[in-house]
Chain A
Amino acid sequence: MAVVARESGSARFRYLLDRVEVLGPVFMAPAILYMVAFLGLPFLLAIYFSLTDITINNIQTGFSFVGLENFIGLFRDRIFRQALRNTLIFAIASQLLAMILGQVTALILMQDFRGKTIVRVAILLPWAVPIALGVLGWKWMFDSLYSIINWTLQAFHILGPDQWPQWLGTSNLAMISVIVVHAWKAFPFVAVIFLGAMTAIPQDIIDAARVDGAGFWRRTFQVNVPIIAPIVSVGVIFGTVFAFTDMSVVWLLTKGGPVNSTQVLGSYAFQVGIVSGDIGQGAATSLFLVPILMVAMVLTLRAMRRREL
Protein backbone atom coordinates (compact mmCIF):
# COMPACT_ATOMS: atom_id res chain seq x y z
CA MET A 1 0.00 0.00 0.00
CA ALA A 2 2.70 2.39 1.11
CA VAL A 3 4.74 1.69 -1.98
CA VAL A 4 1.82 2.40 -4.27
CA ALA A 5 1.07 5.66 -2.49
CA ARG A 6 4.67 6.85 -2.77
CA GLU A 7 4.77 5.93 -6.42
CA SER A 8 1.63 7.84 -7.27
CA GLY A 9 2.97 10.75 -5.18
CA SER A 10 6.19 10.94 -7.18
CA ALA A 11 4.27 10.48 -10.42
CA ARG A 12 2.17 13.43 -9.40
CA PHE A 13 5.32 15.40 -8.67
CA ARG A 14 6.78 14.41 -12.02
CA TYR A 15 3.60 15.47 -13.69
CA LEU A 16 3.76 18.87 -12.00
CA LEU A 17 7.35 19.35 -13.13
CA ASP A 18 6.26 18.69 -16.68
CA ARG A 19 3.63 21.38 -16.54
CA VAL A 20 5.05 24.60 -17.90
CA GLU A 21 2.31 26.59 -16.14
CA VAL A 22 3.62 25.28 -12.82
CA LEU A 23 7.36 25.33 -13.42
CA GLY A 24 7.37 28.83 -14.94
CA PRO A 25 6.00 30.61 -11.86
CA VAL A 26 8.17 28.46 -9.59
CA PHE A 27 11.25 29.58 -11.53
CA MET A 28 10.16 33.22 -11.49
CA ALA A 29 9.14 33.29 -7.82
CA PRO A 30 12.54 33.90 -6.14
CA ALA A 31 13.36 36.83 -8.43
CA ILE A 32 9.96 38.45 -8.00
CA LEU A 33 9.87 37.89 -4.21
CA TYR A 34 13.34 39.42 -3.91
CA MET A 35 12.35 42.49 -5.90
CA VAL A 36 9.12 42.93 -3.93
CA ALA A 37 10.85 42.55 -0.55
CA PHE A 38 13.89 44.74 -1.15
CA LEU A 39 12.76 47.19 -3.85
CA GLY A 40 8.96 47.37 -3.75
CA LEU A 41 8.55 47.36 0.03
CA PRO A 42 11.28 49.96 0.71
CA PHE A 43 9.82 52.17 -2.00
CA LEU A 44 6.38 52.11 -0.35
CA LEU A 45 8.05 52.67 3.03
CA ALA A 46 9.84 55.71 1.59
CA ILE A 47 6.50 57.22 0.62
CA TYR A 48 5.02 56.35 4.02
CA PHE A 49 8.01 57.77 5.96
CA SER A 50 7.96 60.97 3.91
CA LEU A 51 4.45 61.64 5.26
CA THR A 52 5.46 61.21 8.93
CA ASP A 53 7.75 62.91 11.44
CA ILE A 54 9.85 59.77 11.92
CA THR A 55 13.44 60.27 13.11
CA ILE A 56 16.14 57.97 14.39
CA ASN A 57 14.98 58.82 17.97
CA ASN A 58 11.24 58.20 17.74
CA ILE A 59 11.35 55.18 15.41
CA GLN A 60 10.82 52.80 18.40
CA THR A 61 8.62 54.99 20.56
CA GLY A 62 6.18 56.05 17.88
CA PHE A 63 5.88 58.77 15.27
CA SER A 64 2.90 60.46 13.76
CA PHE A 65 1.41 61.29 10.39
CA VAL A 66 2.13 64.86 9.29
CA GLY A 67 0.75 64.94 5.76
CA LEU A 68 2.78 66.93 3.29
CA GLU A 69 4.66 68.86 5.94
CA ASN A 70 8.04 67.37 4.99
CA PHE A 71 7.59 68.41 1.37
CA ILE A 72 6.46 71.93 2.33
CA GLY A 73 9.45 72.15 4.65
CA LEU A 74 11.77 71.15 1.81
CA PHE A 75 10.58 73.95 -0.44
CA ARG A 76 11.21 76.41 2.38
CA ASP A 77 14.67 74.89 2.89
CA ARG A 78 17.26 77.02 1.09
CA ILE A 79 19.79 74.17 1.00
CA PHE A 80 17.28 71.82 -0.61
CA ARG A 81 16.49 74.31 -3.36
CA GLN A 82 20.19 74.72 -3.94
CA ALA A 83 20.66 70.93 -4.04
CA LEU A 84 17.87 70.68 -6.62
CA ARG A 85 19.55 73.32 -8.79
CA ASN A 86 22.98 71.75 -8.32
CA THR A 87 21.63 68.32 -9.29
CA LEU A 88 20.37 69.72 -12.60
CA ILE A 89 23.63 71.51 -13.36
CA PHE A 90 25.80 68.60 -12.26
CA ALA A 91 23.85 65.91 -14.11
CA ILE A 92 23.37 67.77 -17.37
CA ALA A 93 26.87 69.22 -17.57
CA SER A 94 28.68 66.02 -16.62
CA GLN A 95 26.56 63.85 -18.89
CA LEU A 96 27.03 66.23 -21.82
CA LEU A 97 30.78 66.34 -21.29
CA ALA A 98 30.86 62.55 -20.99
CA MET A 99 28.86 62.20 -24.24
CA ILE A 100 31.22 64.47 -26.17
CA LEU A 101 34.35 62.78 -24.85
CA GLY A 102 32.78 59.36 -25.27
CA GLN A 103 31.83 59.97 -28.89
CA VAL A 104 35.28 61.25 -29.76
CA THR A 105 36.75 58.18 -28.07
CA ALA A 106 34.40 55.87 -29.98
CA LEU A 107 35.35 57.48 -33.31
CA ILE A 108 39.02 57.02 -32.45
CA LEU A 109 38.61 53.40 -31.42
CA MET A 110 36.79 52.72 -34.72
CA GLN A 111 40.04 53.40 -36.57
CA ASP A 112 42.88 50.94 -36.86
CA PHE A 113 46.17 52.18 -35.50
CA ARG A 114 49.24 50.88 -33.74
CA GLY A 115 48.87 50.41 -29.99
CA LYS A 116 45.08 50.38 -30.16
CA THR A 117 44.68 47.57 -27.59
CA ILE A 118 46.73 49.45 -24.99
CA VAL A 119 44.89 52.71 -25.70
CA ARG A 120 41.56 50.94 -25.25
CA VAL A 121 42.53 49.45 -21.90
CA ALA A 122 43.94 52.79 -20.70
CA ILE A 123 40.82 54.72 -21.68
CA LEU A 124 38.51 52.18 -20.04
CA LEU A 125 40.32 52.38 -16.68
CA PRO A 126 38.28 55.25 -15.17
CA TRP A 127 35.09 53.28 -15.65
CA ALA A 128 36.47 49.90 -14.61
CA VAL A 129 38.12 50.99 -11.36
CA PRO A 130 35.64 51.24 -8.46
CA ILE A 131 34.38 54.80 -8.21
CA ALA A 132 35.34 55.18 -4.54
CA LEU A 133 38.97 54.33 -5.29
CA GLY A 134 39.43 56.20 -8.58
CA VAL A 135 38.01 59.40 -7.17
CA LEU A 136 40.54 59.27 -4.32
CA GLY A 137 43.26 59.88 -6.89
CA TRP A 138 41.47 63.07 -7.95
CA LYS A 139 41.05 64.12 -4.34
CA TRP A 140 44.82 64.03 -3.99
CA MET A 141 45.28 65.84 -7.33
CA PHE A 142 43.00 68.63 -6.06
CA ASP A 143 44.89 68.87 -2.74
CA SER A 144 44.97 72.39 -1.35
CA LEU A 145 48.75 72.45 -0.84
CA TYR A 146 50.25 69.83 -3.15
CA SER A 147 47.92 69.87 -6.16
CA ILE A 148 49.70 68.28 -9.11
CA ILE A 149 47.24 70.06 -11.39
CA ASN A 150 48.37 73.46 -10.15
CA TRP A 151 52.01 72.44 -10.35
CA THR A 152 51.56 71.31 -13.96
CA LEU A 153 49.63 74.44 -14.97
CA GLN A 154 52.38 76.56 -13.46
CA ALA A 155 55.06 74.54 -15.22
CA PHE A 156 53.33 75.30 -18.55
CA HIS A 157 52.94 78.95 -17.50
CA ILE A 158 49.15 78.74 -17.71
CA LEU A 159 49.05 79.85 -14.09
CA GLY A 160 51.31 82.58 -12.75
CA PRO A 161 53.88 81.77 -10.04
CA ASP A 162 51.64 83.13 -7.26
CA GLN A 163 48.37 81.62 -8.53
CA TRP A 164 47.29 78.50 -6.67
CA PRO A 165 43.54 77.77 -7.17
CA GLN A 166 41.71 75.89 -4.40
CA TRP A 167 39.85 73.36 -6.57
CA LEU A 168 37.63 71.94 -3.85
CA GLY A 169 37.64 75.03 -1.63
CA THR A 170 35.84 77.60 -3.80
CA SER A 171 32.22 77.20 -4.89
CA ASN A 172 32.53 77.48 -8.66
CA LEU A 173 35.75 75.52 -8.96
CA ALA A 174 34.36 72.78 -6.70
CA MET A 175 31.31 72.42 -8.98
CA ILE A 176 33.53 72.28 -12.06
CA SER A 177 35.74 69.71 -10.35
CA VAL A 178 32.91 67.30 -9.46
CA ILE A 179 31.47 67.67 -12.98
CA VAL A 180 34.79 66.88 -14.65
CA VAL A 181 35.48 63.93 -12.35
CA HIS A 182 32.04 62.48 -13.00
CA ALA A 183 32.52 62.90 -16.74
CA TRP A 184 35.94 61.26 -16.41
CA LYS A 185 34.26 58.29 -14.74
CA ALA A 186 31.39 58.08 -17.27
CA PHE A 187 32.92 58.78 -20.70
CA PRO A 188 34.46 55.32 -21.28
CA PHE A 189 30.98 53.81 -20.80
CA VAL A 190 29.53 56.16 -23.42
CA ALA A 191 32.40 55.22 -25.72
CA VAL A 192 31.84 51.47 -25.49
CA ILE A 193 28.10 51.86 -25.98
CA PHE A 194 28.65 53.92 -29.13
CA LEU A 195 31.28 51.50 -30.38
CA GLY A 196 28.89 48.59 -29.87
CA ALA A 197 26.19 50.42 -31.78
CA MET A 198 28.36 51.57 -34.68
CA THR A 199 29.67 48.10 -35.34
CA ALA A 200 26.01 47.07 -35.58
CA ILE A 201 25.51 49.12 -38.78
CA PRO A 202 25.64 46.67 -41.67
CA GLN A 203 28.41 47.62 -44.11
CA ASP A 204 26.18 46.90 -47.14
CA ILE A 205 23.74 49.59 -46.03
CA ILE A 206 26.56 52.14 -45.87
CA ASP A 207 27.80 50.99 -49.26
CA ALA A 208 24.32 51.14 -50.74
CA ALA A 209 23.85 54.69 -49.47
CA ARG A 210 27.21 55.65 -50.91
CA VAL A 211 26.39 54.12 -54.30
CA ASP A 212 23.11 56.03 -54.28
CA GLY A 213 25.14 59.21 -53.96
CA ALA A 214 24.53 60.06 -50.30
CA GLY A 215 27.21 62.40 -48.99
CA PHE A 216 28.84 62.33 -45.55
CA TRP A 217 26.09 64.33 -43.78
CA ARG A 218 23.24 62.44 -45.38
CA ARG A 219 24.92 59.14 -44.57
CA THR A 220 25.40 60.26 -40.99
CA PHE A 221 21.97 61.67 -40.29
CA GLN A 222 19.71 59.59 -42.52
CA VAL A 223 21.47 56.25 -42.33
CA ASN A 224 23.74 55.96 -39.30
CA VAL A 225 21.84 57.95 -36.67
CA PRO A 226 18.49 56.18 -37.16
CA ILE A 227 20.22 52.80 -36.78
CA ILE A 228 22.37 53.80 -33.81
CA ALA A 229 19.82 55.86 -31.87
CA PRO A 230 17.62 53.09 -30.46
CA ILE A 231 20.70 51.08 -29.53
CA VAL A 232 22.63 53.83 -27.73
CA SER A 233 19.60 55.43 -26.13
CA VAL A 234 19.32 52.78 -23.41
CA GLY A 235 22.96 53.32 -22.48
CA VAL A 236 22.57 57.09 -22.55
CA ILE A 237 19.45 56.91 -20.36
CA PHE A 238 21.27 54.70 -17.86
CA GLY A 239 24.17 57.17 -17.75
CA THR A 240 21.84 60.12 -17.25
CA VAL A 241 19.94 58.42 -14.42
CA PHE A 242 23.25 57.62 -12.78
CA ALA A 243 24.38 61.26 -13.05
CA PHE A 244 21.11 62.52 -11.56
CA THR A 245 20.97 60.08 -8.68
CA ASP A 246 24.56 59.34 -7.69
CA MET A 247 26.26 60.87 -4.69
CA SER A 248 29.61 59.06 -4.73
CA VAL A 249 31.73 61.66 -6.54
CA VAL A 250 30.28 64.56 -4.56
CA TRP A 251 30.50 62.82 -1.21
CA LEU A 252 34.08 61.66 -1.77
CA LEU A 253 35.42 64.97 -3.09
CA THR A 254 33.54 67.71 -1.23
CA LYS A 255 30.83 66.13 0.98
CA GLY A 256 28.56 68.75 -0.64
CA GLY A 257 30.75 71.69 0.34
CA PRO A 258 32.04 74.31 0.43
CA VAL A 259 28.84 75.65 2.08
CA ASN A 260 26.57 73.30 0.10
CA SER A 261 27.76 74.64 -3.25
CA THR A 262 28.09 71.09 -4.61
CA GLN A 263 25.25 69.53 -2.59
CA VAL A 264 23.10 67.30 -4.83
CA LEU A 265 19.83 65.49 -4.05
CA GLY A 266 21.53 62.17 -3.29
CA SER A 267 24.14 63.63 -0.95
CA TYR A 268 21.58 65.87 0.77
CA ALA A 269 19.22 62.92 1.35
CA PHE A 270 22.18 61.06 2.86
CA GLN A 271 23.07 64.06 5.03
CA VAL A 272 19.52 64.60 6.29
CA GLY A 273 18.18 61.05 6.46
CA ILE A 274 21.23 59.00 7.46
CA VAL A 275 23.79 61.33 9.09
CA SER A 276 21.31 63.60 10.92
CA GLY A 277 18.75 60.81 11.36
CA ASP A 278 15.72 62.79 10.15
CA ILE A 279 14.24 59.83 8.29
CA GLY A 280 10.99 61.50 7.22
CA GLN A 281 12.66 64.54 5.73
CA GLY A 282 15.40 62.41 4.13
CA ALA A 283 12.84 60.09 2.53
CA ALA A 284 10.97 63.12 1.13
CA THR A 285 14.25 64.44 -0.32
CA SER A 286 15.11 61.24 -2.15
CA LEU A 287 11.56 60.89 -3.49
CA PHE A 288 12.36 63.87 -5.68
CA LEU A 289 14.46 61.45 -7.73
CA VAL A 290 11.33 59.49 -8.69
CA PRO A 291 10.11 61.80 -11.51
CA ILE A 292 13.53 61.53 -13.17
CA LEU A 293 13.36 57.78 -12.80
CA MET A 294 9.86 57.61 -14.28
CA VAL A 295 10.85 59.61 -17.34
CA ALA A 296 13.91 57.41 -17.77
CA MET A 297 11.87 54.23 -17.54
CA VAL A 298 9.32 55.40 -20.10
CA LEU A 299 12.10 56.44 -22.50
CA THR A 300 13.86 53.09 -22.03
CA LEU A 301 10.65 51.25 -22.79
CA ARG A 302 10.15 53.23 -25.97
CA ALA A 303 13.72 52.66 -27.08
CA MET A 304 13.41 48.93 -26.48
CA ARG A 305 10.13 48.72 -28.40
CA ARG A 306 11.71 50.45 -31.38
CA ARG A 307 14.57 48.02 -31.23
CA GLU A 308 12.10 45.12 -31.54
CA LEU A 309 13.09 42.56 -28.97
Chain B
Amino acid sequence: MRLAERLFKQTGFYTLVTALVIFATWPFYWMLITAFKTEHDLYNLESIPYIFNEPPTMQHVNWLFDRTEFARWLWNSLVIGVLVAGITLLVAVPAGYALARMAGRYAESLGIGIFLTYLVPPTLLFIPLSPIISRLGLQDSLWALVVIYPTFTVPFCTWLMMGFFKTIPRELEEAALVDGQNRLGAFVHVVIPLSMSGIFTVVIFAFTLSMQEFVYALTFVSSTAQKTVTVGVPTDLMRGDLFLWGSLMAAALIAGIPMAIVYNLFLDRFVAGITGGAIR
Protein backbone atom coordinates (compact mmCIF):
# COMPACT_ATOMS: atom_id res chain seq x y z
CA MET B 1 0.00 0.00 0.00
CA ARG B 2 2.69 2.49 1.06
CA LEU B 3 4.84 1.41 -1.89
CA ALA B 4 1.96 1.82 -4.34
CA GLU B 5 1.25 5.28 -2.95
CA ARG B 6 4.89 6.33 -3.24
CA LEU B 7 5.11 4.97 -6.76
CA PHE B 8 1.97 6.90 -7.67
CA LYS B 9 3.36 10.12 -6.24
CA GLN B 10 6.69 9.60 -7.99
CA THR B 11 5.04 9.01 -11.35
CA GLY B 12 2.88 12.09 -10.91
CA PHE B 13 5.90 14.19 -10.04
CA TYR B 14 7.92 13.07 -13.03
CA THR B 15 4.96 13.50 -15.37
CA LEU B 16 4.69 17.10 -14.21
CA VAL B 17 8.43 17.69 -14.64
CA THR B 18 8.34 16.19 -18.14
CA ALA B 19 5.32 18.27 -19.14
CA LEU B 20 6.98 21.50 -17.99
CA VAL B 21 10.27 20.68 -19.70
CA ILE B 22 8.46 19.86 -22.95
CA PHE B 23 6.47 23.12 -22.77
CA ALA B 24 9.65 25.14 -22.17
CA THR B 25 11.84 23.49 -24.79
CA TRP B 26 9.40 22.42 -27.53
CA PRO B 27 10.05 25.51 -29.70
CA PHE B 28 13.81 25.12 -29.30
CA TYR B 29 13.77 21.48 -30.31
CA TRP B 30 11.66 22.36 -33.34
CA MET B 31 14.05 25.20 -34.20
CA LEU B 32 17.02 22.87 -33.98
CA ILE B 33 15.46 20.22 -36.23
CA THR B 34 14.26 22.84 -38.71
CA ALA B 35 17.64 24.56 -38.94
CA PHE B 36 19.33 21.43 -40.26
CA LYS B 37 16.59 19.85 -42.38
CA THR B 38 16.60 19.86 -46.16
CA GLU B 39 13.89 21.98 -47.79
CA HIS B 40 12.21 18.88 -49.14
CA ASP B 41 12.11 17.16 -45.75
CA LEU B 42 10.86 20.37 -44.08
CA TYR B 43 7.79 20.76 -46.27
CA ASN B 44 6.89 17.09 -46.59
CA LEU B 45 3.72 16.49 -44.59
CA GLU B 46 3.73 12.72 -45.03
CA SER B 47 6.74 11.88 -42.86
CA ILE B 48 7.20 12.37 -39.12
CA PRO B 49 8.42 15.98 -38.71
CA TYR B 50 10.23 15.46 -35.38
CA ILE B 51 13.10 13.49 -36.92
CA PHE B 52 15.46 13.81 -39.87
CA ASN B 53 13.89 11.82 -42.67
CA GLU B 54 16.71 12.91 -44.96
CA PRO B 55 20.30 13.48 -43.81
CA PRO B 56 20.85 16.83 -42.03
CA THR B 57 22.21 19.72 -44.09
CA MET B 58 24.26 22.85 -43.44
CA GLN B 59 22.66 24.73 -46.34
CA HIS B 60 20.54 27.04 -44.17
CA VAL B 61 23.45 28.02 -41.96
CA ASN B 62 25.69 28.61 -44.98
CA TRP B 63 23.03 30.70 -46.71
CA LEU B 64 22.67 32.76 -43.54
CA PHE B 65 26.35 33.69 -43.44
CA ASP B 66 26.92 33.95 -47.23
CA ARG B 67 23.78 35.65 -48.49
CA THR B 68 22.48 37.73 -45.57
CA GLU B 69 23.85 40.39 -43.22
CA PHE B 70 23.52 38.02 -40.25
CA ALA B 71 27.20 38.23 -39.27
CA ARG B 72 27.00 42.01 -39.45
CA TRP B 73 23.96 42.05 -37.13
CA LEU B 74 25.73 39.83 -34.62
CA TRP B 75 28.69 42.22 -34.71
CA ASN B 76 26.42 45.26 -34.27
CA SER B 77 24.74 43.68 -31.23
CA LEU B 78 28.11 42.87 -29.77
CA VAL B 79 29.43 46.41 -30.27
CA ILE B 80 26.31 47.93 -28.72
CA GLY B 81 26.48 45.50 -25.80
CA VAL B 82 30.12 46.35 -25.05
CA LEU B 83 29.62 50.12 -25.33
CA VAL B 84 26.47 50.10 -23.19
CA ALA B 85 28.22 47.97 -20.57
CA GLY B 86 31.04 50.55 -20.52
CA ILE B 87 28.72 53.53 -20.15
CA THR B 88 26.69 51.72 -17.50
CA LEU B 89 29.83 51.00 -15.53
CA LEU B 90 31.01 54.62 -15.61
CA VAL B 91 27.61 55.93 -14.52
CA ALA B 92 26.27 53.25 -12.16
CA VAL B 93 29.36 52.41 -10.08
CA PRO B 94 29.96 55.95 -8.71
CA ALA B 95 26.21 56.46 -8.26
CA GLY B 96 25.86 53.18 -6.37
CA TYR B 97 28.76 54.15 -4.12
CA ALA B 98 27.33 57.61 -3.45
CA LEU B 99 23.97 56.07 -2.53
CA ALA B 100 25.58 53.52 -0.23
CA ARG B 101 27.90 55.95 1.61
CA MET B 102 27.62 59.60 0.82
CA ALA B 103 24.32 60.94 -0.41
CA GLY B 104 23.08 61.92 3.03
CA ARG B 105 19.52 61.63 4.27
CA TYR B 106 17.98 61.59 0.81
CA ALA B 107 20.02 58.56 -0.20
CA GLU B 108 17.31 55.99 0.36
CA SER B 109 14.58 57.86 -1.49
CA LEU B 110 16.97 58.68 -4.30
CA GLY B 111 18.01 55.02 -4.56
CA ILE B 112 14.44 53.79 -4.71
CA GLY B 113 13.59 56.52 -7.20
CA ILE B 114 16.33 55.40 -9.55
CA PHE B 115 15.35 51.77 -9.09
CA LEU B 116 11.73 52.56 -10.01
CA THR B 117 12.72 54.15 -13.32
CA TYR B 118 13.63 50.60 -14.38
CA LEU B 119 9.86 50.04 -14.67
CA VAL B 120 9.42 52.68 -17.39
CA PRO B 121 8.68 50.72 -20.59
CA PRO B 122 10.04 51.49 -24.08
CA THR B 123 6.47 51.67 -25.42
CA LEU B 124 5.93 54.82 -23.31
CA LEU B 125 9.00 56.68 -24.52
CA PHE B 126 9.75 55.54 -28.06
CA ILE B 127 7.58 58.21 -29.68
CA PRO B 128 8.99 61.31 -27.90
CA LEU B 129 12.51 59.87 -28.07
CA SER B 130 12.53 59.83 -31.85
CA PRO B 131 12.68 63.65 -32.30
CA ILE B 132 15.39 63.78 -29.62
CA ILE B 133 17.38 61.15 -31.50
CA SER B 134 16.96 63.11 -34.77
CA ARG B 135 18.10 66.29 -33.05
CA LEU B 136 21.23 64.46 -31.94
CA GLY B 137 21.75 63.36 -35.56
CA LEU B 138 21.52 59.68 -34.64
CA GLN B 139 18.44 58.63 -36.59
CA ASP B 140 18.73 55.20 -38.21
CA SER B 141 22.06 54.54 -36.52
CA LEU B 142 23.10 51.97 -33.95
CA TRP B 143 24.54 54.86 -31.94
CA ALA B 144 20.97 55.81 -31.08
CA LEU B 145 20.72 52.51 -29.20
CA VAL B 146 24.05 53.06 -27.46
CA VAL B 147 22.61 56.32 -26.12
CA ILE B 148 19.18 54.94 -25.16
CA TYR B 149 19.99 51.55 -23.63
CA PRO B 150 21.67 52.93 -20.48
CA THR B 151 18.23 54.30 -19.50
CA PHE B 152 17.26 50.78 -18.47
CA THR B 153 20.67 49.35 -17.53
CA VAL B 154 21.75 52.24 -15.26
CA PRO B 155 18.78 52.11 -12.82
CA PHE B 156 19.09 48.42 -12.06
CA CYS B 157 22.89 48.42 -12.03
CA THR B 158 23.02 51.40 -9.68
CA TRP B 159 20.70 49.50 -7.38
CA LEU B 160 22.85 46.36 -7.56
CA MET B 161 26.05 48.29 -6.89
CA MET B 162 24.47 50.12 -3.95
CA GLY B 163 23.57 46.80 -2.36
CA PHE B 164 27.03 45.52 -3.07
CA PHE B 165 28.90 48.51 -1.61
CA LYS B 166 26.82 48.24 1.57
CA THR B 167 28.33 44.81 2.21
CA ILE B 168 31.88 46.23 2.21
CA PRO B 169 32.89 47.28 5.74
CA ARG B 170 33.36 51.02 6.18
CA GLU B 171 36.43 50.42 8.37
CA LEU B 172 38.50 49.51 5.32
CA GLU B 173 37.97 52.94 3.77
CA GLU B 174 38.47 54.69 7.07
CA ALA B 175 41.83 52.96 7.44
CA ALA B 176 42.84 54.29 4.02
CA LEU B 177 41.71 57.79 5.03
CA VAL B 178 43.83 57.61 8.17
CA ASP B 179 46.77 56.56 5.97
CA GLY B 180 46.48 59.90 4.15
CA GLN B 181 44.34 58.95 1.17
CA ASN B 182 41.47 61.24 0.28
CA ARG B 183 37.91 59.96 -0.25
CA LEU B 184 38.36 59.52 -3.98
CA GLY B 185 41.66 57.72 -3.45
CA ALA B 186 40.07 55.39 -0.93
CA PHE B 187 37.30 54.64 -3.39
CA VAL B 188 39.68 53.93 -6.27
CA HIS B 189 42.39 52.05 -4.35
CA VAL B 190 40.41 50.23 -1.66
CA VAL B 191 36.73 49.91 -2.59
CA ILE B 192 37.01 49.20 -6.33
CA PRO B 193 39.45 46.28 -5.99
CA LEU B 194 37.13 44.71 -3.41
CA SER B 195 34.11 45.17 -5.67
CA MET B 196 35.31 43.33 -8.73
CA SER B 197 32.66 40.61 -8.55
CA GLY B 198 29.89 43.19 -8.23
CA ILE B 199 31.33 45.19 -11.11
CA PHE B 200 31.53 42.02 -13.20
CA THR B 201 27.85 41.32 -12.51
CA VAL B 202 26.93 44.81 -13.65
CA VAL B 203 28.94 44.45 -16.86
CA ILE B 204 27.33 41.11 -17.77
CA PHE B 205 23.89 42.43 -16.85
CA ALA B 206 24.17 45.56 -19.00
CA PHE B 207 25.72 43.57 -21.84
CA THR B 208 23.05 40.86 -22.02
CA LEU B 209 20.13 43.22 -21.49
CA SER B 210 21.23 45.37 -24.41
CA MET B 211 21.87 42.32 -26.61
CA GLN B 212 18.30 41.16 -25.90
CA GLU B 213 16.48 44.45 -26.43
CA PHE B 214 13.94 44.53 -29.24
CA VAL B 215 11.42 47.41 -29.15
CA TYR B 216 13.83 50.38 -29.21
CA ALA B 217 15.95 48.66 -31.85
CA LEU B 218 12.87 48.10 -34.01
CA THR B 219 11.89 51.74 -33.65
CA PHE B 220 15.18 53.51 -34.18
CA VAL B 221 17.06 51.43 -36.73
CA SER B 222 15.69 50.64 -40.17
CA SER B 223 18.60 50.22 -42.56
CA THR B 224 19.93 46.68 -42.85
CA ALA B 225 23.57 47.51 -42.13
CA GLN B 226 22.77 49.15 -38.77
CA LYS B 227 20.40 46.50 -37.39
CA THR B 228 20.94 44.42 -34.30
CA VAL B 229 20.50 40.68 -34.47
CA THR B 230 17.18 40.76 -32.59
CA VAL B 231 15.69 43.09 -35.22
CA GLY B 232 17.54 41.99 -38.35
CA VAL B 233 16.37 38.37 -38.10
CA PRO B 234 12.60 38.99 -37.69
CA THR B 235 12.46 41.89 -40.17
CA ASP B 236 15.00 41.33 -42.98
CA LEU B 237 14.69 37.55 -43.04
CA MET B 238 10.88 37.65 -42.97
CA ARG B 239 10.12 39.90 -45.91
CA GLY B 240 7.32 38.94 -48.28
CA ASP B 241 5.22 35.86 -48.03
CA LEU B 242 7.88 33.22 -48.32
CA PHE B 243 9.79 32.82 -45.09
CA LEU B 244 12.96 30.77 -45.25
CA TRP B 245 12.23 28.90 -42.07
CA GLY B 246 15.43 26.84 -42.08
CA SER B 247 17.66 29.91 -42.09
CA LEU B 248 15.38 31.81 -39.74
CA MET B 249 15.54 29.07 -37.13
CA ALA B 250 19.31 28.69 -37.60
CA ALA B 251 19.69 32.44 -37.03
CA ALA B 252 17.53 32.40 -33.90
CA LEU B 253 19.46 29.48 -32.43
CA ILE B 254 22.96 30.71 -33.27
CA ALA B 255 22.27 34.11 -31.73
CA GLY B 256 19.90 33.04 -28.96
CA ILE B 257 21.58 30.09 -27.28
CA PRO B 258 24.94 31.75 -26.44
CA MET B 259 23.06 34.74 -25.04
CA ALA B 260 20.96 32.40 -22.91
CA ILE B 261 24.08 30.74 -21.52
CA VAL B 262 25.65 34.08 -20.53
CA TYR B 263 22.33 35.12 -19.00
CA ASN B 264 22.17 31.97 -16.89
CA LEU B 265 25.58 32.75 -15.43
CA PHE B 266 24.41 35.81 -13.57
CA LEU B 267 20.80 34.81 -13.04
CA ASP B 268 21.10 34.27 -9.29
CA ARG B 269 22.55 37.74 -8.80
CA PHE B 270 19.78 39.28 -10.85
CA VAL B 271 17.17 37.53 -8.70
CA ALA B 272 18.98 38.66 -5.56
CA GLY B 273 18.74 42.23 -6.86
CA ILE B 274 14.98 41.99 -7.24
CA THR B 275 14.20 39.96 -4.14
CA GLY B 276 16.35 42.23 -1.99
CA GLY B 277 19.17 39.89 -1.02
CA ALA B 278 22.69 41.28 -1.23
CA ILE B 279 24.93 40.09 -4.02
CA ARG B 280 28.30 38.75 -3.02
Contacts and interface: CB of A to CB of B under 8 A. Distances in A.
B97 interface: yes
A34 B206 CA distance: 15
A139 to B, nearest CB: 8
B129 A42 contact: yes
B151 interface: yes
Given A245-B121, A265-B123, A279-B127, 13 more contacts: A17-B184, A23-B102, A28-B98, A34-B150, A34-B151, A34-B154, A38-B148, A42-B132, A130-B259, A132-B233, A289-B121, A301-B112, A304-B112
A200 B128 contact: no
A293 B271 CA distance: 21
A27 B102 contact: yes
B233 A133 contact: yes
Interface string A255-292: 00000000001100110011000010011001101100
Interface string B99-141: 1011110001010101011011101111111111000000000
Interface residues of A, number: 98
Contact of B123 (A20, A146, A232, A270): A270
Interface in B243-275: 243, 245, 248-249, 251-253, 255-257, 259-261, 263-264, 267-268, 271-272, 274-275
Contacts of B26: 141
12 contacts: A27-B95, A31-B154, A31-B158, A38-B147, A125-B260, A136-B233, A138-B27, A146-B43, A246-B123, A279-B131, A286-B127, A307-B276
Interface stretch (B51-59, B196-204, B214-222): B214-222
A225 interface: no
A309 B99 CA distance: 13
A248 B230 CA distance: 11
A252 B234 contact: yes
A54 B276 CA distance: 43
Interface of A: 14, 17-21, 23-28, 30-32, 34-35, 38-39, 41-43, 45-46, 49, 59, 101, 104-105, 108, 111, 113, 119, 121-126, 128-134, 136-138, 140-141, 143, 146, 148, 151, 184, 188, 192-193, 195-197, 200, 231-232, 234-235, 237-238, 241-242, 245-248, 251-252, 265-266, 269-270, 273-274, 279, 282-283, 286-287, 289-290, 293, 296-297, 300-301, 304, 307, 309
A28 B99 contact: yes
A133 to B, nearest CB: 4
Given A124-B264, A140-B245, A17 B182 contact: yes
B231 to A, nearest CB: 7
A134 B214 CA distance: 12
A282 B257 CA distance: 35
Contact of A17 (B50, B114, B183): B183
Interface string B140-179: 0000000110110011001000000000000000000000
B155 A137 contact: no
B27 A134 contact: yes
B127 A131 contact: no
B154 A130 contact: no
Name B's interface SS: helix
A223 B234 CA distance: 47
B71 interface: no
A148 B43 CA distance: 11
Contacts of B182: 14, 17-18
Given A39-B125, A274-B130, A140 B249 contact: yes
A124 B20 CA distance: 11
Nearest to A149: B26
B131 A134 contact: no
Interface size class of B (residues with CB under 8 A): 35 or more
A30 B94 contact: yes
Nearest to A303: B276
Contacts of B274: 193, 196, 234-235, 238
A113 B101 CA distance: 44
Nearest to A284: B127
Contacts of B95: 27-28, 30-32
B8 interface: no
Given A136-B249, A193-B271, A283 B127 contact: yes
A140 B124 contact: no
B49 interface: yes
Given A38-B148, A136-B249, A246-B121, A125 B25 contact: yes
B257 A129 contact: yes
B275 A30 contact: no
A140 B33 CA distance: 12
Give me the 9 closest cross-chain CB pairs, A-B, nearest first.
A137-B27, A24-B102, A245-B121, A266-B123, A45-B128, A128-B260, A27-B98, A31-B95, A27-B94
